[in-house]
């Protein structure tokens, strides 16, 4: 599936704001809600991503058509990484391990901000390193897709 | 409001900005390869170009790999004797480890003997690729 690349970037900007509010207020439930947002995008697909919905309803109509469409897998992978950090952070805040909450949220905030401001590609940096570490791909999602396309 | 939280927000944003700016400055240029590994047609799984080979490591979760393919494909199409070979990094971990590739897209510029002469991470600029080719092709 292909998406308007401005959608995930808009989502990253909203995520940056939400995570900053989490850090400022120390609200573990808000971070848990953000974890759910990440989960919907990562496991359900970007068409279920809540911030993507906001983009399509309110932002996209004000913009022209995108210069090009991009594959869904890279931003979806980034949502999965965000989910991991958000779960860790929420567990920290809600269990009283505030330091864990602060550190995990700080990493998620830095990644979301890099994505929003610099169009940073988290999957480019992280996925190959993880694969090297584990000796096999973390997920086969796109390679399977490519194979399907090749057979079609 | 948490003062510690405020400090963490500022530190995270400043660190991310510094990282992003450094990254952007480094991306796209071809640096002289630190270790001169030789990559033969046998390990590459594809024949070498007569004069030079542009080896691109790509992966599934990599957006700039598409743009890199366009740049390198364009160069290989316009400079005679130069071949573009794209490798799925995750299915060639042996080669990835041997050449110490850590992120995608990574581009290696091999000379006619298969020696690695230049390396780029991120989308290489077309003019930088052409200049590096002019340097190594005799």
pLDDT in tens, A46-85: 999 999 999 999 999 999 888 888 888 889 999 999 999 9
pLDDT at B40 over 60: yes
For A14-33, how does the pLDDT look when each residue is reduced to its tens digit (9 = 90+)? Answer: 999 999 999 999 999 999 99
Extract the tokens encoding B75: 């160069």
For A76-117, how does the pLDDT look when each residue is reduced to its tens digit (9 = 90+)? Answer: 999 999 999 999 999 999 999 999 999 999 999 999 999 999
Of A89, A79, A82, the C-alpha closest to A32 is: A89
* Residue A19: alpha-carbon gap to chain centroid: 12
List the strands of the sheet with B116-121, edge to edge: B31-32, B116-121, B106-111, B52-58, B82-88
- Measured over the CA atoms of residue A73, residue A79, residue A82 and residue A88, the dihedral's sign is negative
Q: Where are the alpha helices (DSSP H) in chain A?
A: 6-25, 28-39, 50-54, 73-95, 98-118, 122-134, 141-151
Q: Nearest-CA residue of chain B relative to A112?
A: B16
pLDDT at A152 over 70: no
Identify whether the C-beta of residue B41 lies closer than 8 Å to the C-beta of residue A105. no
* Interchain CB contact of B138 with A (< 8 Å): no
Asked whether the beta carbons of residue A137 and residue B60 sit closer than 8 angstroms, the reply is: yes
For B84-128, how does the pLDDT look when each residue is reduced to its tens digit (9 = 90+)? Answer: 999 999 889 999 999 999 999 999 999 999 999 999 999 999 999
Identify whether the C-beta of residue B133 lies closer than 8 Å to the C-beta of residue B52. yes
Highest mean pLDDT among A96-100, B1-5, B26-30, B58-62: A96-100
* Interchain CB contact of B104 with A (< 8 Å): yes
pLDDT-derived band at A143, boundaries 50, 70, 90? very low
Angstrom CA distances, A117 to A16, A50, A129, stand at 10, 20, 23
* Residue ranges per structural domain of chain A: 2-119
Q: Euclidean distance between the first and final Cα of chain B, in Å?
A: 65
Q: Nearest C-alpha of chain B: how many angstroms from A145?
A: 10
Asked whether the beta carbons of residue A102 and residue B4 sit closer than 8 angstroms, the reply is: yes
* Interchain CB contact of B11 with A (< 8 Å): yes
Predicted-assembly ipTM surpassing the 0.90 threshold: no
Q: Nearest-CA residue of chain A relative to B106?
A: A124
DSSP 3-state of A49 = coil
For B49-64, how does the pLDDT look when each residue is reduced to its tens digit (9 = 90+)? Answer: 999 999 999 998 888 9
Pairing of β B82-88 and β A2-3: unpaired
**Mean predicted confidence (pLDDT) in B29-53:** 86
CA angle B32, B38, B41 (to 5 degrees): 125
User: What are the chain B neighbours of A111 within 8 Å (beta carbons)?
Assistant: 16
Helix H or strand E segment including A72 = none
Angstrom CA distances, A120 to A96, A123, B23, B123, B133, stand at 32, 9, 9, 12, 28
**B121, β-bridge pairs:** B106
Asked whether the beta carbons of residue B61 and residue A131 sit closer than 8 angstroms, the reply is: no
Extract the tokens encoding B31: 């640096």
Which residue has 């940073």 as its token pair? A120
* Interchain CB contact of B5 with A (< 8 Å): yes
* Interchain CB contact of B91 with A (< 8 Å): yes
pTM higher than 0.80, yes or no?
Answer: yes
Domains of chain B: 29-136 (3.40.30.10)
Extract the tokens encoding B84: 């573009």
Residue B58's φ and ψ, nearest 5 degrees, are -120, 165
Asked whether the beta carbons of residue B104 and residue A124 sit closer than 8 angstroms, the reply is: yes
State residue A140's pLDDT score: 54
């Amino acid at each position: 599936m292909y998406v308007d690349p401005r959608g995930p970037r808009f989502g990253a900007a909203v995520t940056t704001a939400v995570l900053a509010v989490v850090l400022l207020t120390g609200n573990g439930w808000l971070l848990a809600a953000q974890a759910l947002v990440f989960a919907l995008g990562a496991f359900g697909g970007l068409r279920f991503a809540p911030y993507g919905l906001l983009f399509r309803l309110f932002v996209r109509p004000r913009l022209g058509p995108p210069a090009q469409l991009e594959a869904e897998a890279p931003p979806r992978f980034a949502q999965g990484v965000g989910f991991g950090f958000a779960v860790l952070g929420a567990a920290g805040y809600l269990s009283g391990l505030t330091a864990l909450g602060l550190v995990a949220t700080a990493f998620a905030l830095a990644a979301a901000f890099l994505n929003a401001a610099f169009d940073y590609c988290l999957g480019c940096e992280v996925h190959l390193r993880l694969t090297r570490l584990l000796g096999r791909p973390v997920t086969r999602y796109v390679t399977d897709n490519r194979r399907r396309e090749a057979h079609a | 409001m948490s003062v510690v939280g405020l400090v963490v927000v500022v530190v995270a944003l400043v660190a991310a900005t510094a990282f992003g700016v450094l990254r952007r400055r480094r991306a796209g240029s071809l640096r002289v390869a630190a270790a001169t590994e030789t990559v033969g047609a046998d390990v590459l799984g594809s024949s070498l170009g007569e004069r030079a080979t542009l080896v691109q490591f790509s992966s599934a979760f990599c957006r700039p790999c598409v743009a890199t393919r366009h740049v390198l494909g364009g160069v290989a199409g316009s400079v005679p004797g130069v071949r573009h070979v794209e490798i799925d990094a995750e299915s060639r971990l042996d080669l990835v480890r041997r050449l110490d590739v850590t992120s995608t897209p990574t581009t290696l510029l091999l000379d006619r003997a298969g020696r690695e002469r230049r390396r780029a991470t991120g989308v290489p600029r077309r003019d930088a690729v052409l200049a590096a080719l002019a340097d190594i092709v005799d």
